[in-house]
Structure 1
Amino acid sequence: MKLTKLIHACVRLEKGDSVLVIDPGSFSEESALDGADTVLITHEHFDHVAPDRLRKAAQANPSLEIWTNEGVAAQLTDVPAKVQVVRHGDAFDTAGFGVKVFGEQHALIHPDIPIIRNIGFLVDEEVFYPGDAFTAPGVEVPTLLAPTNAPWMKSLEMIAYLREVRPARAFSTHDGLINEFGQKIIDSWLEMESDKQKADMRRLKPGESVTLP
């Protein structure tokens, strides 16, 4: 499986001729959905879902599938794709990928902002993407896409999450809000934790790809 990190919170997974895209929001590249067979969306915030882009992608590919929660699905009623609602505990197959759903809520951002639904996806028992939460799925996670910067988190929580899940590999996501100085700090934290856990933990640059076992 090929994993490509895109800007901020978007990731592409490719296996053979199949393309799965996770959280193609408004910060990600316009090309993020090119050739996509299926899209997974964790929650309704604009940096994770862009309905206009999904509408264009569905017009280009009438067989496009979108898997998400109730809150996001309500925003996609005019998107001409197969939109399917899933919840914690669900499992499904799409475009040759096997997916399991974990989690229910977005992390708390602010005491005056209501908590929304957020689901995480485990793809092919290999890649876990938690969305905007520190969801621990309670199963083995070979590759973790770990949030490293957000208004709802601090670095201490990121490290605690890496130590709870203990993946063989962890790559930074949700990192589009930081400048070059913040990137160096994140790189340093991930390097330290990588050494501690004897694992591959690092930040991929936008457009950078890795091949997973």
Structure 2
Amino acid sequence: MRLTHLGHSCLLVEMADRRLLIDPGNFSAGFEDLGRLDAILVTHNHPDHFDPERGPSLVRAHADTPVHTDPLTAETLAEQGLRAVPTREGEDFAVGDVTVTPVGALHAFNHVAMPQIPNVGLVLRAAGEPSLFHPGDAYDAEPGEVDVLAHPLNAPWAASRDSIAFVGRIRPRTVVPIHDALLSDRGHAMYAGHIEKFAGVDGLTVRMVADGESVQL
């Protein structure tokens, strides 16, 4: 598996000879220039996960690429004449030899004035590859055993204690921090260090992947 971090929560996942793009948001860069994509996946309809301008343009530019999104984003795209398959927990789908398992249903609670919109995390599995869990913006889904956690490191809805507890519950072998656009380098290192020190997962590795860089797992 090869992961390319395109900023914030956007990942290009290359596994089992497939290229899957997750959460092309407005804090992310470079996703328009990736060439072939085998799937475009979106966890929820906030602009930092699906850019309201560049996202639909990306879908139009990849007219033959399957698009799977949370139900609200699918509705929003349909209003623009664009087709997306709504993802729902319990409804697995395949992208070549990659099985995608949707998990969870709602965005984490932010504030009483902000409605909880749909958020569907994604677990990617393929024979001979590490498994990956991208939770979107929630810590409550149950993905089962996973090797790599794309971990939302910082968010208005997340306390550090909840972030650490989430990693401790999922117990991945590797954490790749995402949802980090609001952090300075020092803040990023501090939050990641807290996870390594306090999550209580033996042998845990935190792999920092800077914007635009890739890691082989």
TM score, norm. by length of structure 1? 0.90
Equivalent residues in 2 for 1:25-104 (5 A)? Answer: 25-31=25-31, 34-35=34-35, 36-77=37-78, 82-104=83-105
Larger CA deviation: 144-153 vs 73-82: 73-82
The counterpart of 2:194, out of the listed 189, 197, 205, is: 189
1:157–1:119 CA distance, 2 compared to 1 (3 A): same
Q: After TM superposition, list the pairs within 5 Å mapping 1:5-24 onto structure 2.
A: 5-15=5-15, 17-24=17-24
Contact kept in structure 1, 2:133 and 2:143, CA below 8 Å: no
Task: Compute the displacement of 1:52 (Å).
Answer: 2.7
Gaps of 5+ in 2: none
Q: How does 1:51-200 map to 2 (within 5 A)?
A: 51-77=52-78, 82-124=83-125, 126-193=131-198, 197-200=202-205
Q: CA deviation at 1:84?
A: 0.4
How many residues end up aligned between the 2 structures?
Answer: 212
Letter in 2 for 1:69: D
TM-aligned CA deviation for residue 64 of structure 1 = 1.6
Q: Deviation string for 1:103-150 (max 9, x for gaps)?
A: 001101112211111000001160001110003425111111111100
| Matched residue type, 1:101 | P
Kept in 2, the 8 Å contact 1:64–1:82? The answer is no
Report the Cα distance in structure 2 between the residues aligned to 1:63 and 1:165, rounded to whole angstroms. Answer: 35
Cα distance change of structure 1 residues 31 and 101 upon mapping to structure 2, 3 Å threshold: closer
Structure 1, unaligned runs of 5 or more: none
Deviation of 1:10 (Å) = 0.5
Question: Identity across aligned pairs (percent)?
Answer: 33
In 2 relative to 1, CA 185–74 (structure 1 residues): closer, same or farther, beyond 3 Å? same
Q: Assess, with a 3 A threshold, how the Cα gap between structure 1 residues 27 and 181 changes in structure 2: closer, same or farther.
A: same
User: How far did 1:178 drift?
Assistant: 1.1
- Root-mean-square deviation (CA), in Å? 2.1
**1:95 Cα deviation from its structure 2 partner:** 4.5
User: Which stretch of the first structure deviates more once superposed, 36-45 or 135-144?
Assistant: 135-144
